[in-house]
Amino acid sequence: MHNAENLCKNCGNTTKNSYCDVCGQPTNTQRIKFSSLILQVTTIFNLDRGFLFTIKRLFTNPSGAIKEYLSGKRVRYSKPFGLVFIVVTVYVILSYWLNAQMESIQLSGASALDVEMKSATQGYTESIYSYYSYIQLLTIPLYAFSAYIFFKSDGYNYAEHCVINAYITAGSTVISIAYLPVIAYFHSSVEAHYWSMIPITAYSLFVYIQLFKRSSLIIRFIKAFGAAILSTLSVLFTIMIISTAIIMTSMFSHLQTDNLLTKSEKELINGADTNTPFRVLPATNETDSLFLRKKCTNLSFEQNKDDILHLVERLKVTLDAEQGVGIAAPQVGIARNLFLFVRTDKPDYPVEVAINPHIVNHPDETICFERDGCLSIPDTSGNSIRYPWVEVEYTNERGELIRERLEGYSRSDSFVAVIFQHEYDHLQGILFTDKLCD
Instruction: Read off the pLDDT of residues 255-280 as tens digits, 9 standing for 90 and up.
Output: 555 688 999 999 999 999 999 999 99
State residue 382 phi and psi, 5-degree precision.
-170, 160
Are 354 and 390 in contact by the 8 Å Cβ rule? The answer is no
> Tell me, what's the pLDDT at 152?
87
From the list 2, 138, 143, 165, the residue with the least C-alpha distance to 70 is: 165
Return the H-helix or E-strand segment holding 169.
Answer: helix 158-185
DSSP string, 265-313: HHHHHTTS-TTSPPPPPPTTSHHHHHHHTSPPB---TTTTHHHHHHHHH
Of the candidates 25, 202, 167, 191, which has an alpha carbon nearest to the alpha carbon of residue 85? Answer: 167
Domains plus CATH for the chain? 31-258 (no CATH), 263-435 (3.90.45.10)
Look at residues 122, 123, 47 and name the one whose alpha carbon lies nearest to residue 79: 47
Question: The whole model's pTM is what?
Answer: 0.52
**Size of the chain in residues:** 438
The Cα–Cα gap between 432 and 415 comes to: 15
Predicted pLDDT of residue 378? 92
DSSP label of 436 = B
CA–CA separation, 341 vs 350, rounded Å? 8
What amino acid positions are annotated as catalytic residues?
423
- Block mean pLDDT (10 aa), the chain, length 438: 68 79 76 74 62 92 92 87 87 77 45 42 46 69 88 89 91 88 69 75 89 88 86 75 70 62 94 96 94 94 93 97 96 96 94 96 94 94 95 95 93 91 96 93
85, 100, 131 from 88: Cα distances, Å: 5, 18, 11
In whole angstroms, give the CA distance from residue 274 to residue 318: 10
- At 127, the amino acid letter reads S
Q: Is 145 exposed, middle or buried (0-12, 13-18, 19+ CB in 10 A)?
A: middle
For residue 114, report the phi and psi dihedrals to the nearest 5 degrees: -60, -40
**What is the rounded distance in angstroms from the CA atom of residue 132 to the CA atom of residue 339?**
42
Residues 6+ apart with CB under 8 A from 351: 316, 319, 340, 341, 342, 343
Q: What is the pLDDT of residues 379-414, one digit of tens each?
A: 999 999 999 999 999 999 999 999 999 998 888 889
> Long-range contacts for 62-68 (Cβ within 8 Å, ≥24 apart)?
62/167, 62/168, 62/171, 62/203, 62/206, 62/207, 62/210, 62/211, 63/207, 63/210, 63/211, 65/167, 66/163, 66/164, 66/167, 66/207, 66/211, 67/211
Quick one: pLDDT at residue 307?
Answer: 95
- 367: which residues sit within 8 A by CB, 6+ positions away? 385, 386, 387, 388, 409
| Helix-, strand-, coil-residue percentages of the chain, each rounded to 5 | 55, 15, 30
Distance (Å, whole) CA 351 – CA 29 = 81
171 CB-contact burial (10 Å; exposed 0-12 / middle 13-18 / buried 19+): buried
Quick one: which of 215, 217, 214, 234 has its CA closest to 165? 234
User: What phi, psi does 431 have (nearest 5°)?
Assistant: -105, 160
